[in-house]
């Protein structure tokens, strides 16, 4: 038998615990206010943001354009493969039937690419480790058009600093040109030998095993070649922009 | 120049801890604590054991903040550690203060400590202290290396391979953190038991005229 008074005691305990915890976090926040990248003008946050930019430069210097990420055998592929995005799998968006990949910025011709045109280009396949910024990792197989080949095909200025990606699920990201031209950086059209389904990034996603998972945008709508820092969904919140592996 | 200089032939010889030891100790301590607490924030994003650290104890507020703190304090720790190791080798500090280090000496001093017969002499480390300091320094060096191997598993692939691959390197990194935190707990308890050691690590302290009287 459950009595009302029991519930009341429990509720009071809970309230007290919440108050205590709230007080503790408030104390911590007051002591170190703005030390989580949430502000642009807090002293600690300013130091952290400039350290992030310093880390970008160190990682760009460390990046070897010829060093390949480790590859794996088909029997080492992780199954089931874990879905991950900034939203749950139930909110995955399907591409429009008339989807085309837009290309803009420092490129030879402003032309949109259909999926068939992308499939007609030379394709490359890889089995590589996808490492999430959270620490977990999984091995998957992707194939598609090497991004370096595509950038040359569209007459992109290869001396430009950034390649930016806009996605129709309102995600975005951007990478440095050196990483874009890496031989293992591909515009993936297939996942495990079959055309990408929406949750894995249909119709085209970036697969770049020399960077962390969040630098592998899915459901791409547009690619921009630019010298203006494009940032990205997570990068703007404080994930390190370069995030090289 | 202090008046004491006329009495003591050498200022540095009179100090329990040279300035270099004190500076690198406190900068290193702050960096290790920041790395530990921000590391807990990173661990909580994807735990490898069936528990998470209390979020109120972590540093950075969220995963991105934790990583920013972790990498920023890593540079402080690397600079501090490199300065200390280079100085320790060049000045003879390691040879003078950490050697000789023998199993017999450790066993003898450990037993003496347990039976409360170990005398603490400021400026001279007993064998258990020597062993623990060497171990924690090695653990910090290995923690930095294993951390670099999971930060850069492609560019530093050879290092990741040395630590047994990406997933195993994460576990090694966690185990080393646990060892460093265990050291920290013992270290702080012992300092609380012999508070004069805290003073000497701040001011440098004075070596006692006769050993064994501190």
In DSSP terms, A103 is beta-bridged to: A223
Residue corresponding to tokens 């935190």: B181
Q: Is residue A154 part of a domain?
A: yes
Judge if A24 and A145 occupy the same domain. Answer: no
Of B95, B89, B80, which is closest to residue B28 (Cα–Cα)?
B80
Alpha carbon distances (Å) from A68 to A179, A208, B53: 11, 11, 35
Ordered structural domains, chain B, with CATH: 13-203 (1.20.950.20)
Q: Is residue A37 part of a domain?
A: no
Mean pLDDT over each residue of chain B, to the nearest integer:
87
Which residue of A51, A54, A135 is in closest CB contact with B42? A135
Interchain CB contact of B78 with A (< 8 Å): no
Q: Is residue A187 part of a domain?
A: yes
Tokens matching residue A205: 């996603």
Q: Is residue A223 part of a domain?
A: yes
* Pairing, β A220-226 against β A102-105: parallel
pLDDT at B213 over 50: no
pLDDT at A31 over 90: no
Q: Is residue A161 part of a domain?
A: yes
Judge if A12 and A79 occupy the same domain. Answer: no
Whole-structure pTM value: 0.86
Judge if A59 and A2 occupy the same domain. Answer: no
When divided into structural domains, chain A yields a total of: 2
Judge if A54 and A170 occupy the same domain. Answer: yes
Q: What per-residue confidence (pLDDT) applies to B97?
A: 83
Domain of residue A4: give its range: 1-30
Q: Is residue A36 part of a domain?
A: no
Q: Is residue A245 part of a domain?
A: no
Judge if A96 and A198 occupy the same domain. Answer: yes
At residue B130 the predicted structure's pLDDT band, cuts being 50, 70 and 90, is confident
Judge if A112 and A166 occupy the same domain. Answer: yes
Judge if A231 and A160 occupy the same domain. Answer: yes
**Residue contact B45–A134, C-beta within 8 A:** yes
Q: What per-residue confidence (pLDDT) applies to A9?
A: 58
Judge if A127 and A12 occupy the same domain. Answer: no
Judge if A233 and A175 occupy the same domain. Answer: yes
Judge if A135 and A19 occupy the same domain. Answer: no
Q: Is residue A242 part of a domain?
A: no
Judge if A3 and A118 occupy the same domain. Answer: no
Q: Average pLDDT for residues A130-151, to the nearest whole number?
A: 97
Which residue of B45, B48, B56 is in closest CB contact with A25? B56
At residue A236 the predicted structure's pLDDT band, cuts being 50, 70 and 90, is very high
Length of chain A equals 245
Q: With beta carbons under 8 A apart, name residues in chain A contacting B45.
A: 133-135
Least confident of A47-56, A166-175, B191-200: B191-200
Judge if A138 and A224 occupy the same domain. Answer: yes
DSSP summary character for residue A244: B
Interchain CB contact of B154 with A (< 8 Å): yes
Q: With beta carbons under 8 A apart, name residues in chain B contacting A55.
A: 71
Q: What per-residue confidence (pLDDT) applies to A33?
A: 54
DSSP summary character for residue A101: B
């Amino acid at each position: 038998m459950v009595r009302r008074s029991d519930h009341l005691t429990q509720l009071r305990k809970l309230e007290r615990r919440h108050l205590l915890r709230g007080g503790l976090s408030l104390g911590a926040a007051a002591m170190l206010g703005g030390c989580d990248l949430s502000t642009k003008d807090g002293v600690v946050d300013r130091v952290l943001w400039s350290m992030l930019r310093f880390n970008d430069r160190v990682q760009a210097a460390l990046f070897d354009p010829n060093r390949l990420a480790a590859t794996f055998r088909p029997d080492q592929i992780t199954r089931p493969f874990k879905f991950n995005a900034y939203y749950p799998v139930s909110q995955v968006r399907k591409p429009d039937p008339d989807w085309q990949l837009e290309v803009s910025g420092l490129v030879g011709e402003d032309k949109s690419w259909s999926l068939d045109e992308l499939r007609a280009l030379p394709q490359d396949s890889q089995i590589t480790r996808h490492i999430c910024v959270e620490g977990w990792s999984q091995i998957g197989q992707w194939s598609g058009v090497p991004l370096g080949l595509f950038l040359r095909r569209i007459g992109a200025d290869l001396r430009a600093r950034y390649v930016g990606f806009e996605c129709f699920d309102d995600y975005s990201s951007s990478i440095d040109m050196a990483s874009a031209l890496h031989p293992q950086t591909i515009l993936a059209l297939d996942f495990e030998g079959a055309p990408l389904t929406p949750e894995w990034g249909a119709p085209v996603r970036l697969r770049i095993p020399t960077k962390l998972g969040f630098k592998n945008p899915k459901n791409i709508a547009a690619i921009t070649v630019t010298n203006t820092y494009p940032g990205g969904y997570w990068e703007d919140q404080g994930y390190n922009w370069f995030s090289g592996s | 120049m202090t008046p004491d200089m006329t009495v003591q032939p050498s200022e540095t010889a009179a100090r329990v801890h040279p300035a270099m030891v004190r500076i690198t100790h406190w900068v290193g301590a702050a960096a290790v604590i920041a790395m530990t607490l921000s590391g807990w924030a990173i661990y909580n994003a994807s735990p490898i054991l069936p528990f998470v650290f209390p979020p109120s104890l972590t540093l950075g507020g969220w995963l991105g903040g934790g990583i920013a703190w972790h990498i920023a304090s890593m540079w402080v720790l690397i600079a501090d550690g490199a300065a200390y190791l280079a100085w320790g080798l060049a000045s003879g500090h390691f040879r003078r203060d950490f050697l000789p280090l023998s199993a017999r000496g450790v066993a003898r001093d450990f037993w003496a400590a347990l039976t409360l017969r170990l005398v603490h002499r400021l400026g001279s480390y007993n064998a258990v202290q020597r062993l623990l300091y060497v171990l924690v320094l090695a653990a910090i060096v290995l923690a930095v290396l294993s951390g670099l191997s999971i930060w850069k598993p492609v560019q530093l692939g050879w290092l990741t391979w040395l630590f047994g691959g990406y997933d195993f390197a994460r576990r090694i990194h966690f185990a080393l953190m646990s060892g460093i935190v265990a050291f920290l707990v013992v270290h702080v308890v012992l300092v609380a038991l012999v508070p004069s050691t805290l003073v000497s690590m701040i001011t440098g302290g004075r070596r006692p005229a006769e050993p064994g009287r501190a």
